Structure formats: structure tokens, C-alpha cells
Amino acid sequence: MRINRRLIKNFDWGTFFIVILLSIIGIMTIYSATRPLLPHEQPNYHIKQIYWLLLGITALFFIVSFDYIWMSRFAYPVYAAGVVLLLVVLFAGKTGMGAQRWLSIGPLSFQPSEIFRLMFIIVIARHFMELSGTMGLTSIIKNFLAFTFIPLIILLKQPDLGTAVVLLIMFLSLSIVKGLQKKVVVLLIVIGVISIPFIGNIMWEGLKDYQKNRIVAFMEPEADPAGIGYHINQSKIAIGSGGILGKGYLKGTQGPFRFLPEKQTDFIFAVFAEEWGLVGSIFLLLIYLALILRGLDTALKAKDEFGRLLAAGITAMFSTYFFINVGMTLGIMPVVGIPLPFMSYGGTALLSNFIAAGILINIRTRRFELFY
């Protein structure tokens, strides 16, 4: 019982209440964006999200109940299983919105890439933990080919450009946290700058038409305001119409009146900004900033290298998803189908986010020895 009391006493309630607050705000916004306008309409997105929230909270406490170090023992087989799941999607996946990203088991559909991102962080943290000293260029290339290249190709094939970008950013972030030789950093920057035109051309040829349209819309939204630029234009209208204080909860028009596509998923921030305005948006951004800073502090206070890398990777994931999603809604980044963590509608994403938050809480709670 002593270990249980100490676990509860040192539980990271700060991170827990932050993710719960974001999830509640998300459910409220999902309801506002999808609320029925006609008597026969009965959308239940917010109800489903509540069920997933309860499942996510259960998963969070389950993850916290075990010492996070056990994850390192199963990192490689779990990663391999994740790659297999991604491959299965290519052959038996469910297609939606131009992409083959979902697997269906009876009435349940889930997106393996949302789960795989955590598997990826765990295996990279496990492998980097075993490396000593800073990494050279050869080590970076070997690790990239060993753990990142194959899932990256599979994700681009689905296609899931957003998750592929996040995967690459997480690998680079963890490499930096582990430690890179100075000459490697300089060399990577030079190679990156030189290769941008070539990589860009190769990627452009491999993109689907709808993905190319998204990039064109980002570069020139007014080129086709009724077509490819419609999402971004309507998002900007929603955010701009919120003004300083917003229109008020349930008084927004862009979402419920169906002007804004993907209102409960990719563009949920625009719905929120229309109703709560600049003041509400700043408040929301501060909540996410608190989550990111809490994650960084957890990484700094972790009791071991595995915990440090694990916390850094999860924080990088949350940060990347947040900045890309908000950037999409503001029109300063291409639309790549990245959800807003804990707020966007989606059961698999919410569940995986709560598992990630549970790992963060686990690391912070166990930054000391629980036994006397």
C-alpha cells in the first residue's frame, strides 16, 4: 500500500488536468460545430468523443500503474508489429477522403498510423538509450534507414503526408536530444538546403492530385476560391469574424452552417476562434504552451536516459501536431490532415494522445524511487 500512496501523492496532476481541460473544450467545440440545425438531424460526434475520452482516461491510469521502463523491454517487437499494421493498411485498409489509412474490425474503425507514432517514439528512445556519446553522420543514416525509412515510405504510399512529416520531425528531434556532433549539424543543414529542390520534385511527382491541390491552395488560395482554396479561405473567415471577444458559444456560423469543411477535425481551431475570439484563442494557446513546457520539464527531470528521450519525443509530437494544425487553419502551412491534439474529433487519435500523456505522467511521477 505504501507504493500506491506515494504514487498517488506524486502523481502529475498538472499534466492530467491540462489534457482533461483540452478534451472538454474539444467536446464542447465538436458539439457546437456539428450541432443539429434541422429536427431530423441527430449528429452524435460529441457523444462518441465522450466515450473515447472515458476510454482514454482509463488507458492513462493503466499506463501510469506500471513503471515506464517496461516499455523498453518490448520496444522492438512492438515496433515491428506497428510496421506490419501499416503494411496491412496498404492491402486491406479502408479508403476515405482520398486516402487508405483505416482498418476495420467489425463496426470499429481505427487508424494504425495514430498508434504507430507512439511505437516509433518508444523504439527510437530505446535504441538511442543504448548509444554512447554524440552521434555522427554514419550513425544518423543507419538509424534513419533502420527505423524511419520503411514506415515513412509506407505512410507516403497510403498516402498520409501529415503523419510522415511528423515521423521525420520526431526522429530529428530525438537525434538532437540524444546529441549530434557539431559538424554533423552543419552538414545536415547544408545537405537539407541543397536537396530541397530535388526532394521537392520527387515528392511532387509522388503526390495524389488532392495533395497537390492542397499545396497549390496554400501557395495561392485565391487561384480557385470555390475549389482548392475553399478550406483555407473559410477557415480565415471563421477566425477573422471572431474578432477580439468572439461571437459567443453556440453562436458561430461557419461550422454549424456547413461553410467550413472538416470542422470537427482538421479545422476545429477555426470553429473555436470564431466563438471565443482572440482572447479565447490566446487562452487556448497558453494551455497548449503549458502542456509543452510541462513535457520539456518532465524530460529534464527524468530519472534515466530512456525516460528523458521518451518524454522529449512525446513533447515533440504534441508540439508538431499543434503548430501544424494551427498553421493550417491560419493559412500559413499547407493542409496535410493533422488533427489538433485532444480537441479534434477522432477516437484513435484521442486514445493515443491519452496514452502518450499517461507515459509523460508516468515518467514525471517516477522521477524518484517509489520505494523507501
Domain count, the chain: 1
Residue 87 burial (10 A CB sphere; 0-12, 13-18, 19+): middle
* Segment 113-123, tens digit of pLDDT: 889 999 999 99
Is position 371 within any domain? no
Q: What are the pLDDT digits (tens) for 158-180?
A: 778 888 888 999 999 999 888 87
C-alpha–C-alpha distance, residues 221 and 331, integer Å: 9
| Mean pLDDT computed over 189-195 | 61
Give residue-wise pLDDT tens across range 276-304: 999 999 999 999 999 999 999 999 999 89
Q: Residue 107: which domain range?
A: 2-365
On whether residue 333 sits in a domain, the answer given is yes
239 vs 241: CA distance, rounded Å: 6
Q: What is the pLDDT of residue 237?
A: 87
Q: Identity (one letter) of the amino acid at 184?
A: V
Looking at the domain assignment, is residue 79 inside a domain?
A: yes
Domain membership of residue 87 (yes or no) is: yes
Label residue 275 by pLDDT band (50, 70, 90): very high
Instruction: Please tell me the predicted confidence (pLDDT) of residue 69.
Output: 92
List all residues 6 or more positions away from 25 whose beta carbon is below 8 Å from its beta carbon: 272, 284, 287, 343
How confident is the model at residue 9, as a pLDDT?
76
Q: What is the mean pLDDT of residues 56-61?
A: 96
pLDDT score for 370: 46
Whether 329 is covered by a domain: the verdict is yes
In 3-state terms, what secondary structure has residue 110? strand
- Pairwise CA distance, residues 249 & 30, whole Å: 12
Distance, in Å, from the CA atom of 370 to the CA atom of 372, rounded to the nearest integer, reads 7
174 in Cβ contact with 121 (< 8 Å)? yes
372 domain-assigned: no
Dihedral sign for Cα atoms in the order 317, 362, 119, 178: positive
DSSP label at 303? S
Q: What is the pLDDT of residues 104-114, one digit of tens each?
A: 776 677 788 88
Residues 322-367: pLDDT tens digits? 999 999 888 888 777 789 999 999 888 999 999 999 999 999 998 7
Residue 236 has pLDDT above 90, yes or no: no
pTM score, whole prediction: 0.87
Please check whether residue 139 lies inside any domain of the structure. yes
DSSP string, 126-170: HHHHH--S-B-HHHHHHHIIIIIHHHHHHHHHTT-HHHHHHHHHH
pLDDT beyond 60 at 218: no
What pLDDT is stored for residue 207 in this prediction? 53
